[in-house]
Chain A
Amino acid sequence: MITTTQRIIKSGFLNFWRNGFISLASVLTMVITLCVIAGLIFMSALLSITLNEIEKKVDINVYFIPQADEADILNLKQALEGLPEVADIVYLDREQVLDNFKEEHKEDQIELQALQEIGDNPFGAVFNIRAQETSQYEGIAQFLKSDSALSKGGIDIIDTVNYFENKVVIDRLTKIINTAKSLGFAITLLFVALSVVITFNTIRLAIFISKEEISVMRLVGASNMYVRGPFVVTGIMYGFIAGVCTLVLLYPITLWLGPKSADFFVGVNVFTYYVRNFGQIFFIVMFSGIVLGAISSYLAVRRYLKV
């Protein structure tokens, strides 16, 4: 068994080197396929990171009345933090809101004078709430409308929740994000399927050229494994070498595209992504290449084994 395996591997290597042009053509086709697969990994990551960034920018603000008791506000904060939909709450008390206002309007003397004339702090505290997903804001807003948001005296301590003002925009954004995710997934599947078919056909063509050779092997009594083995080894070599070429090619390509992608996709640099996730990308590209080469060769030889 060991001798047979050694002979099959040796024969696969010899096939690869001695069929130079066919090997080159198969490797180049596979490089294109693997580049498409790698490109889709980058696109998927860019889309995902960009959508996450956009999602992070969506939040709702809860404005309390100036008379609201801080203890009631903190109780409400605690209740909100208990909700699974809530990712993060930033609490600004009345003084911080006033300071922020002054900082924002330090150039605007009229606003500052008006504030001085009022004398007292006219601002209420504010919650800035971020949900896990954009679709969950409605639930949080509904929660705020419930009894938990009322003070002990029966007076509503919440002045405004800006979700209801931004509802249309948030809903539209949620739809866009979900559509982009589904579309991205469908396009990924389509491109991967097309690339796999092209690679499969190239390898099938390479093996078609050897069909006479396969029939001779059968006529000298070679077993299926002994005929198929070297072709599968050659297919694995196509995949391995194409994988290495793809990973090498991706370095200058992502280096060149990096600043462009950072400008276009809210600061996501594909080169940084490639370097940081090299292990994962290496595994996907090499695994795809080797498996694609092996399976394509295995299936392509099968039809000529009936002699």
Chain B
Amino acid sequence: MLYFDRVSKIYSDDSHALQDVTFTIEPQEFVSIVGHSGAGKTTLLKMILAEDTPTEGAVFFESNSIQDFDRTEINSFRRRIGTVFQDFRLLPHKTAYENIAFAMEAAGRSDVDIEADVPHVLNLVDLGDKMWNFPHELSGGEKQRVAIARAIVNQPDIVIADEPTGNLDPINTYEIVQILKKVNDLGTTVILTTHNKGVIDSLKKRVITMDRGRLIRDDHEGTYVL
């Protein structure tokens, strides 16, 4: 599904964010990417989201090189990916319902679909009663659950979760990980980056370890070894 082919990213100050990174992610996999700050995790995710392009090598999605996509293809491609961030990145002036509906509207879904799917997906993340709350009226865990609901509402091929538990307490962390596991069990590929050793060790899924831009470990039932 996703293939990184000898990808390097060198910035103008000659620093190497990624060096010769090669790996494949198969459909329905749950892959955790771990590494210290500056290891290249975020750069790697930016390559997948077409926010950044490799200096060398290429990133392929279903055999198509992502950096060759034009603007329309990037938009269509992004609609097949759900993203969850550490800082939630919800639209502050939209309610939980509207935040999720926006992702559906952007994908060109009909009003009928939106009215049916948004309450359903909010119920899935246990926020059916907070549908009309604005982000500032929600706790950190609730915001992250809205972000996950937004990420999965268009039934994407991949969900990318960039440090989704970084701002959450242990109970909310556990709940978010459980939701991501459920999403993966339903057939969606999940790519997770985290610093949380407990989360990685409890998942017992594939772990890719990065260090100073290089891929140093790729374990199929890995643990947090840094």
A221 and B79 within 8 A (CB) = yes
Tell me the A255-307 residues at the B interface (CB within 8 Å): 307
- Give chain B residues whose Cβ lies under 8 Å from the Cβ of A220: 78-79, 83, 102-103, 106-107, 150
B68 within 8 A of A: no
A221 and B89 within 8 A (CB) = no
A221 and B107 within 8 A (CB) = yes
Closest to B82 in A: A220
Number of interface residues, chain B, beta carbon within 8 A: 25
Given A212-B89, A216-B91, are A223 and B110 also a contact pair (CB < 8 Å)?
no
**With the chains together, A219 CA to B83 CA distance in Å?**
8
A3 and B110 within 8 A (CB) = yes
Closest to A6 in B: B111
- Give chain B residues whose Cβ lies under 8 Å from the Cβ of A219: 49, 51, 78, 83, 89
- Give chain A residues whose Cβ lies under 8 Å from the Cβ of B106: 217, 220-223, 226
A14 and B78 within 8 A (CB) = no
Tell me the B16-75 residues at the A interface (CB within 8 Å): 49, 51, 71-72, 75
Kindly provide the distance from the CB of B69 to the nearest chain A CB, expressed in whole angstroms: 12
- Give chain B residues whose Cβ lies under 8 Å from the Cβ of A19: 93
Question: What's the interface size class on A, roughly?
Answer: 20 to 34
Kindly provide the distance from the CB of B118 to the nearest chain A CB, expressed in whole angstroms: 14
**With the chains together, A7 CA to B110 CA distance in Å?**
11
Q: Which of B76, B105, B111, B150 has the most CB of A within 10 A?
A: B105
A14 and B49 within 8 A (CB) = no
Kindly provide the distance from the CB of B159 to the nearest chain A CB, expressed in whole angstroms: 12
Kindly provide the distance from the CB of B45 to the nearest chain A CB, expressed in whole angstroms: 11
**With the chains together, A221 CA to B153 CA distance in Å?**
13
A3 and B93 within 8 A (CB) = no
Tell me the A14-41 residues at the B interface (CB within 8 Å): 14-15, 18-19
Tell me the B84-107 residues at the A interface (CB within 8 Å): 89-94, 102-103, 105-107
Given A3-B111, A219-B83, A224-B71, are A18 and B102 also a contact pair (CB < 8 Å)?
no
- Give chain A residues whose Cβ lies under 8 Å from the Cβ of B105: 7, 222, 226
Q: A18-B93, A224-B71 are in contact. List 11 more A-B contacts (CB 8 A).
A: A14-B93, A212-B89, A213-B92, A215-B89, A216-B89, A216-B90, A216-B91, A220-B83, A220-B107, A222-B102, A222-B105
